[in-house]
Amino acid sequence: MRWFRTIIRELFGLFVDDGSFAITIVAWLGIAWLVLPWLIPGSAWGGAALFVGLAVILTESVWRHRA
């Protein structure tokens, strides 16, 4: 049964290299999905806010791994 756990871990590792980066992106997408339509109803600024949030997450991840 240990071989099955190893296979699952390797498959997960193919798609997710940094777990905290992936969790932060999923959390931001959830927050944006729930909050942005309520804060900015019927506006195109929601897409810009989504982009800026993802850019900030990416920048923070690069700085964290560069050090």
Instruction: Write out the two tokens for 52.
Output: 């800026």
- The pTM of the full predicted model, rounded to 2 decimals, is 0.72
Residue 45 or residue 30, greater confidence? 30
Domain contains 2: no
Domain contains 50: yes
Domain contains 5: no
- The closest alpha carbon to 57, from 13, 26, 16, belongs to 26
Q: How many domains does the chain have?
A: 1
d(CA 40, CA 23): 25
pLDDT per residue over 31-64, tens digit each?
Answer: 999 988 887 777 778 888 899 999 999 999 899 8
Domain with 53, as residue range(s), is 16-66
